[in-house]
Every structure is written in C-alpha cells, then in structure tokens.
Amino acid sequence: MSCPVHYTIQAIQPAAHLFEVTLRIAEPDPVGQVFSLPAWIPGSYMIREFAKNIVTLSAQAGGKVLTVSKSDKHTWHLPAGVKEPVTLRYTVYAWDLSVRTAHLDATHGFFNGTSVFLCAHGCEDQPQLVDIRPPHGLEEAGWRIATSLSVAEGENGAAEPYGFGRYRAENYDELIDHPVEMGTFTLAEFDACGVPHAVAITGRHDCDLPRLVEDLKRICENQIRLFGEPAPMDRYVFLVMAVGDGYGGLEHRASTALLCSRADLPYPGMEAQSDGYRQFLGLCSHEYFHTWNVKRIKPAAFVPYNLSQEGYTRLLWAFEGFTSYYDDLVLIRSGRITVQDYLKLLSKTINQVHKGSGRQKQSVAESSFEAWTKYYRQDENSPNAIVSYYTKGSLVALLLDLRLRADSKGTRSLDDLMRALWLRHGQTGVGVAEDGLYALAAEIGGVAVGRWLQELVEGTGELPLETWLKRFGVSLAWEAASPAPGIGVRTTTEAEGVKIANVFDGGSAQAAGLSAGDVIIACDGLKVTSGNFDKLLARRVAGDSAEIHAFRRDELMCFEVPLQAAPADTAKLEWVARVSKTAEAQRKAWLEG
C-alpha cells in the first residue's frame, strides 16, 4: 500500500509551551488506521510515556470529523472504511529541558521526533516529509533551524540551510533520529575528514568558538580514522543547550543533543583547560563515538527497535561502557589533554566503581539487562545494590585493550575489535548476538581471552586493574579520600541540617540505625549545618563515638554512632618513569593510537 506521510510542526503558543503537529496520509488503512507514539527514545533506557504530553487530538477526512479511539496509553485508532486522505491534528506540551524530549518557550524550541511525531502504522517504511514552520507570534525574532534532517530537495517550500521549510526522511525510524533546535543560536561550522560539521549553541554564553571548533575537529577526525574513512554520515551537528547548571547528552545517527553548564564552555582568553571544559569535551567525544557504536553497531535485541516496550539486552556494558572508555582515550590521542589529565580521568572512573558495594552483587551484564528497572530508576539503596555499566564497562574495555596489546606484543588491540564490529555489524546492519563480544574477543585474542572477558563481564569479583596497568608502566595505589573519620553516609544540604542521601553497607551509620532521608540536626550537642558536619567529625579520631540527633519524618531520634576510618577506596594512578622498552612502546601505542 502506497502511503506517503506529510507532517507539519509549528510552535503555536511558545509561552504555553505548545507545538501543533498535523499528520497527513493519502491512503489510510481501510480496516482502521492506527497511530502511536514511542514510549521510549533509543539511548535512554527508561519508559518515558511521551504520549502523556499530547494535549488535544482530532482527525478529519473529506471535510468530516472522525471519531478517534485509544486502545492503550500511546495508541490511537480511526474507524474502518475511511477512503479519503486523513489529517490528524494534535498539540504537544513541551516543557522538559532535557536531551530526551521537547522544550519550548519564547527563547527557543527543541524536540526529538519521538516526542512529537506520531507513527502512522503501515507507513513506517515510506518517505516522511516534514514542514517545520516559523513560531507563531515570533516571525520577526530571527529564529533559525539546526538539525541533521535532510532538506526536501525538489519539493515546493524546501528549506534553505538552517531555514524553516520542508525536510525529508527516508522512513519513520530516520525521522525520529534527527532532533531539531530552533531559535537564535550561535553557529559555527568545520570540516572533519571531508564531512561538514556544525555546532549550534543555544542559551546565553561567552564561548570561544574557534577554540571549541578546533578541539571538536581533532576529536572527530581521530574517531573517523579509528573506524576508517569515509565517515558513515554526510553531515553532523552538535546541538548544545547552555544553562546555569546541567549535564547530559543523547546520541543520534548524524547529530547529538547536549546539555551543559555555560561555565563549562571555553571562554576567550582562557589559558589552562578547566575541569568543566574537559568534561564537556569528553561528553562530545562520547556521543560522537556512538555514531558507530550503538547507532550502527547494535545489539541484536535492537534490530529493529521496538519503541512500544522495553528492549532487553545484556550488552550495554559494551555499547555504553566501551564508548565511555574511548571518550577519554580519544581526548589524549587527539592531543586535547595531557597524560596526567588522562590518569586523573581514569582514576575518577575507578573511584566511581569502587565507591559502592553494588559492584560485588551485580555483574555488569546484569546491570545492562536491568537498566530499565534499576540503573535508570535509582533510589537511596542503589550504591549498595547496583553497578554502572558505563563506568565498570569502561574498565572492562581498558582491561581487554591492555591484555590484547600485551598478549599480542602490540599487534592486536581493542581498536581492532571495534573495527571488526564496524565491518561485520555496523556496515551490514546485522545485530550483535548476546555472546558476540566473547566470540569476537576469542577470535582476535585467543580462546583464553574470550573466556576471561566473559568472567569479567558476568562475575562480581574485583577487576585486576593493578596487574594490567603495571605492565604498561602505570602504578595503581589505594588511599583514603580523607584523613578524617566518617560514618558511612552521603549527605545533601537541607535548611534544617544535612539530609542523608545514601547509607552505605558496612558503615557505622547503618549499624547504628540511621537511614536515608534522616535529617541530621546535631552532633554531640552542636548544631549541624551544611558546612560544619564534616568539620565536626574531623576533630575526632576513628574509634570515638558521636551522639547524633536526627529527624526521621517529624520524629526526633538519637543515635550513638561509632566513627570509622575512611576506607582506602580512592585510586591514585601514577606514571612510572622507568619502565622496560617493551612497556614504554606498548604504553605509547595505547595512548597515541
């Protein structure tokens, strides 16, 4: 059944945060046309229920209003027997300032297709035409469009570069994989290995664009050359929302949506690279690497995506974890950071894994599978129950890379494994089987390596980081984060005192009966504030006891809590100056690529 699909979208009430969308199909299904909106967005493994933001919806055909019914929370039905072209008109509330959904006010508009474009069932594989119209009431505001959607060349009203007008996608899957930013953003363009790239920054900022562009260019070129030219996209766009305090990113096939603190962007005259800017470059590197690893190299469970329900896989440790390993590694390989910077970033990752006992209870494969129910729905007990497939997955990638290099005397590495994945899966569209990484590691590094990788991924033992880093001239030692004693909690600021966010397994606070949510108001008879609790404990020694008064709900309670020495769970990495020539050569190849 031929079924061309035509959308229009317009910001009709920016102050009320409303987009209006029309969807026209020429030949509706005679047994009753069905429409639905995705329940989640690829790359963010949580049911979001985007349909909750649809405010009004109506349908017409041949000038007549049609009855619309719903069969579940995100599926709409038209009656059978409709022969004329159908127009669906609906409004979408857009007030989520994140990279996952949609946001609209008088300063800008942003949307992911999964939030605004209903899918016409039976038409998913047909070309999708989208007419993006200027915002109502802001026609003179000078808004532009930034998106990696292709211009609908040859169509009446085809958009000019960065202009409103008509765009085209080959199918619905492509349509929802190109987010759109509209507004008065700052724009910069550059070329990476022959591919046009753009950076669009929305929000108030004082970014040093030439510096940012130069850094992004080197990062992008390094990744393109790692997988091999040509790059898999004709054009790429970084969509950046600069805010007072924010952090996040979401990958797409030819773009990424990023949220950052404006202070993290480089500013004119900035000499030393700030920690915030280094973190932002790592975020850009991470999302760009996903262009290959997850957008095109996918778990078999995601081929194709089923966006109406959860998609379970035990492989996120490879798709997010390996990407997390390369995001920082590419920074040093492209000359954006120093060796000491890289060791600092690697230490931070190791610390994040070791701060919670959850790593001893949940494997990184289980973490991947349970992303829907545990990682994306964390609570006060999460540090004691789960491990991150991002951070531990990146350490698994590090170990696999080092072992492949050491065992092969430098002739094999994780780079080879990634290129093999690209050739066999990324370029073919064949999904990676649940045990596919073990088999590929065995093929590249030998059967023992494949089994070893499986043990790392499916076990809960401590990772052998010291052993393998030492072979590459990097020493790992463990030390306490602070000389002051503690009670085994993480706290947040409250007006009345400090609120316990997490109580860690094995800590004296847990043994004494303190719980997450308790608000500590006094320690040894002295008022506790956000700035003095740690100082009060620092004046004591491990083995002492503290009398802590805390509110649980509206009830005042008193606890006698022994003070503990801070655990030696903070990693300290150091570059060993004197190493063998073999170790020096392998270390150089590892960090320079």
Torsion of the alpha carbons at 350, 356, 359 and 364, rounded to the nearest 10:
-70
Q: How far is it, in rounded angstroms, from Cα 554 to Cα 246?
A: 33
Task: Count CB-CB contacts under 10 A for residue 163.
Answer: 13
Alpha helices in 62-180 (DSSP H): 113-116, 172-175
**Average pLDDT of the residues in 475-503:** 93
Mean pLDDT of 21-49: 97
Residue 120 forms beta bridges with which residues?
35
CA distance 231 to 552: 56
Q: What is the pLDDT of residues 542-556, one digit of tens each?
A: 999 999 999 999 999
326's tokens: 């390369």
What integer pLDDT is reported at residue 95 of this predicted model? 98
Tell me what the mean pLDDT of segment 98-105 comes to: 98
Domain residue spans in the chain? 5-183, 185-274, 292-472+583-593, 489-562
- Report d(CA 291, CA 401) in Å as an integer: 21
What are all long-range contacts of 147-150, with beta carbons under 8 Å and residues at least 24 apart? Answer: 147/178, 147/179, 147/180, 147/181, 147/237, 147/239, 147/255, 148/178, 148/233, 148/235, 148/236, 148/237, 148/252, 148/253, 148/254, 148/255, 149/175, 149/178, 149/180
Hey, what CATH topology would domain 5-183 get?
Immunoglobulin-like (2.60.40)
Closest C-alpha to 176, from 318, 41, 74, 268: 41
Three-state DSSP class for residue 416: helix
Place 495 in a pLDDT band, splitting at 50, 70 and 90.
confident
Average pLDDT over residues 168-184: 98
- Token pair for 100: 């996952």
Give the type of residue at 590. W
Please give the pLDDT value at position 531. 85
Taking a C-beta distance cutoff of 8 angstroms, is the pair 521, 496 a contact?
yes
- For residue 303, report the phi and psi dihedrals to the nearest 5 degrees: -120, 95
Task: Please count the CA atoms within 13 angstroms of the CA of 373 that sit on its side-chain side.
Answer: 9
What rounded mean pLDDT belongs to the chain?
Answer: 96
pLDDT tens-place string over residues 245-263? 999 999 999 999 999 999 9
Please tell us whether the domain made up of 292-472+583-593 is placed in CATH 1.10.390.10.
yes
Q: For residue 1, is pLDDT > 70?
A: no
Question: For a pLDDT cut of 70, what percent of the chain falls above it?
Answer: 99
By the 8 A CB rule, do 86 and 59 touch?
yes
Give the burial class of 407: count Cβ atoms within 10 A of its Cβ; 0-12 exposed, 13-18 middle, 19 or more buried: middle
3-class SS at 149?
coil
DSSP 300-343: GGGSS--TTS----S-HHHHTHHHHHHHHHHHHHTTSS-HHHHH
pLDDT computed for residue 224 by the predictor: 98
Between the CA of residue 519 and those of 191, 201, 361, 392, what are the distances in Å? 53, 40, 28, 32
Only one residue has tokens 């929370």, namely 73
Whether pLDDT at 496 is above 90: no
The confidence score (pLDDT) of residue 2 equals: 40
Amino acid type, 507: G
Query: So what's the pLDDT on residue 357?
Result: 95
Average pLDDT over residues 231-243: 98
Burial readout 196-222 (b: 16 or more C-beta within 10 A, e: otherwise): ebbbbbbbebebbbebbbebbbbbbbb
pLDDT at 484: 92
How much is the average pLDDT of 133-141?
94
Percent of the chain with pLDDT over 90: 96
Mean pLDDT, range 83-112, rounded to an integer: 97
Q: Judge whether residue 4 has pLDDT over 90.
A: no
Whether residue 3 has pLDDT greater than 70: no
More confident residue, 3 or 427: 427
Q: Structurally, what CATH architecture does the domain formed by 185-274 represent?
A: Orthogonal Bundle (1.10)
Dihedral-angle region of residue 546 (phi above 0 means left; psi in -120 to 50 means alpha; beta otherwise): beta
* pLDDT at residue 333 tops 50: yes
Average pLDDT over residues 153-163: 93
- 185-274 and 292-472+583-593 agree in CATH topology: yes
Of 330, 298, 316, 327, nearest in space to 393 by CA = 316
- Tell me, what's the pLDDT at 530? 82
Q: Which CATH superfamily is domain 489-562 in?
A: PDZ domain (2.30.42.10)
